[in-house]
């Protein structure tokens, strides 16, 4: 989640560096919104149609051969569930200590950082909220403000206050928004008040406070990622530039120079409460003024480019890949049992295997499944994609791990096979021979490990 969002952050920053004054300002805010969604939403939603059928998750009582390919999570009650589906690996008894400790330690560190940052933000928020409670209302005694309120209606109740401990205007609140002006501001200057109040009005009308809260939540969750902090900075800059563009569209392009001068005058003051509030303050002032003066109407070309960029970002980062969906992990010693069979009768071998590499990922069917046993007499028929032992087509191949009772080093199944085999190991766990399993012994093994070979094929069952 954080990695894919980080890639998008880099892309947006690079795009911003070369085209911030050439493309619509709103485009970058939309792109930051996609980044925030990726950072805050823990699941992905498919946007483009799947080009190939994903691996199917089946229930443990279902017939494995009824599916062309499946990633099969085994029941907790079956001994097969604890089978190691990898090649023989010698692991020291104490080697898992750090592997078990490290995830817990990392989660603890992440949670501690998130809680500390959240507490810091809450302290800043409540301190500023308590301080701003002493702000005094302005409307009613100022005809300029009353006239402005008449021209700018809002469904939510909007209050305009004054406060003597701030130097720049700011807005706060979502359901009950407030515009708070510094007491030193000349409220009788009608043009300046129109620019300032309209700027704050645009923040309120478009719920920019929600953007700030979402960005703060992303910071808390991804505090360890410096790119997320970079995103927070650029998000605030682009939010201000979008707000400036909306003001210009409202008051008219002929007022761009006057609005920029007003911005310069206010930016000379030192703003406060900017972490969680929106304000008409010093925030990359030079970039904002250049953006104001270079502001042009959107053309068909820029609109098309913007749409392509947004769709590209959504399709690239809001969609989960098939590979991620088909990889299933478990905290047991077995990661997964992958079974492949064929639904086109008579065309392919219908072979199925359960195998994985040392890292836990499922290996390729079919040769890789049992290649390590070829030194003990097992042969592979490449033309028919099958394994043979003493000339017989292998159906079931089991290699029990006697160091860990109830575990398997390998469990392989080919629905078209004719003979069943097990690996016989010596006391030092070295392979002695590969022995054929008769019907009675197969039934006993199936009862012990929770599987059965029936007319429909291999099935796993719960052990009573």
* Res 165: pLDDT: 84
86 pLDDT exceeds 70?
Answer: no
Q: Give CA–CA dist 335/344, Å, rounded.
A: 29
pLDDT 10s digits, 397-425: 888 776 766 677 787 888 888 899 988 88
**CB count in 10 Å sphere of residue 121:** 17
- The answer to pTM > 0.75 is no
Triad 362, 364, 366: Cα angle to 5° = 120
Q: Which residues contact 40 (CB under 8 A, 6 or more apart)?
A: 214, 217, 218, 221
Respond yes or no on whether the N-terminal peptide bond of residue 144 is cis (omega within 30° of 0): no
Banded model confidence at residue 271, pLDDT cuts 50, 70, 90 = low
pLDDT at 198: 93
Q: What is the pLDDT of residue 341?
A: 35
β-sheet bridge partners, residue 69: 340
Cβ proximity of 107 and 132 under 8 Å: no
* Average confidence (pLDDT) over 316-331: 44
Q: What is the pLDDT of residues 427-459, one digit of tens each?
A: 777 888 899 999 888 888 888 877 787 777 777
Q: How many CB atoms lie within 10 A of CB 323?
A: 10
SS3 state of residue 47: coil
Over 50: is that where the pLDDT of 98 sits? no
Decide: 89 and 358 in contact? Cβ < 8 Å: yes
Residue 227 has pLDDT above 90, yes or no: yes
Question: 392-401 and 378-381 as β-strands: parallel, antiparallel, unpaired?
Answer: unpaired
Whether 388 contacts 418, CB under 8 Å: no
CA distance 207 to 192: 23
Confidence check: pLDDT of 111 > 90:
yes
* Averaged confidence pLDDT in the chain: 74
pLDDT band of 274, cuts 50, 70, 90: low
333 touches 405 (CB < 8 A): no
């Amino acid at each position: 989640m954080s990695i894919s969002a980080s890639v998008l952050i880099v892309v947006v920053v690079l795009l911003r560096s070369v085209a911030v004054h050439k493309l619509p300002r709103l485009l970058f805010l939309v792109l930051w919104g996609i980044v925030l969604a990726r950072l805050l939403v823990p699941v992905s939603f498919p946007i483009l149609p799947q080009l190939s059928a994903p691996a199917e998750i089946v229930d443990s009582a279902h017939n494995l051969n009824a599916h062309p390919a499946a990633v099969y999570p085994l029941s907790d009650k079956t001994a097969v569930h604890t089978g190691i589906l990898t090649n023989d690996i010698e692991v020291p008894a104490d080697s898992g200590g750090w592997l078990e400790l490290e995830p817990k330690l990392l989660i603890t560190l992440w949670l501690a950082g998130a809680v500390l940052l959240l507490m810091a933000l809450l302290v800043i928020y409540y301190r500023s909220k308590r301080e701003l409670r002493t702000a005094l209302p302005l409307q009613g005694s100022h005809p300029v403000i009353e006239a402005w309120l008449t021209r700018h209606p809002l469904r939510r109740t909007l209050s305009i206050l004054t406060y003597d401990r701030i130097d720049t205007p700011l807005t706060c609140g979502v359901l009950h928004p407030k515009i708070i002006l510094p007491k030193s501001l000349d409220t009788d200057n009608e043009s300046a008040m129109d620019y300032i109040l309209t700027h704050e009005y645009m923040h309120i009308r478009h719920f920019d406070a929600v953007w700030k809260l979402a960005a703060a939540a992303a910071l808390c969750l991804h505090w360890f990622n410096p790119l997320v902090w970079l995103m927070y900075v650029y998000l605030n800059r682009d939010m201000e530039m979008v707000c400036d563009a909306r003001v210009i569209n409202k008051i008219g392009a002929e007022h761009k120079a006057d609005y920029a001068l007003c911005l310069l005058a206010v930016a000379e003051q030192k703003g406060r409460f900017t972490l969680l509030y929106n304000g008409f303050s010093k925030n990359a002032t030079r970039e904002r003024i250049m953006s104001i003066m270079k502001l042009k109407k959107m053309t068909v070309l820029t609109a098309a480019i913007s749409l392509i960029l947004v769709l590209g970002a959504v399709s690239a980062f809001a969609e989960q890949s098939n590979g991620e969906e088909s990889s299933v992990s478990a905290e047991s010693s077995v990661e997964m049992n992958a079974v492949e069979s064929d639904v086109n009768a008579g065309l392919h071998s219908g072979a199925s295997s359960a195998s994985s590499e040392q890292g836990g990922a499922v290996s390729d069917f079919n040769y890789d499944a049992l290649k390590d046993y070829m030194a003990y007499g097992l042969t592979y028929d490449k033309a028919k994609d099958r394994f043979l032992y003493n000339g017989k087509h292998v159906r079931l191949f089991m290699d029990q791990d006697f160091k860990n009772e109830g575990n398997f080093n390998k469990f392989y199944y080919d629905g078209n096979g004719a003979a069943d085999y097990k690996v016989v190991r010596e006391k030092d766990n070295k392979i002695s021979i590969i022995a054929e399993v008769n019907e009675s012994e197969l039934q006993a093994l199936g009862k012990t490990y929770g599987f059965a070979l029936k007319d429909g094929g291999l099935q796993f069952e719960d052990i009573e």
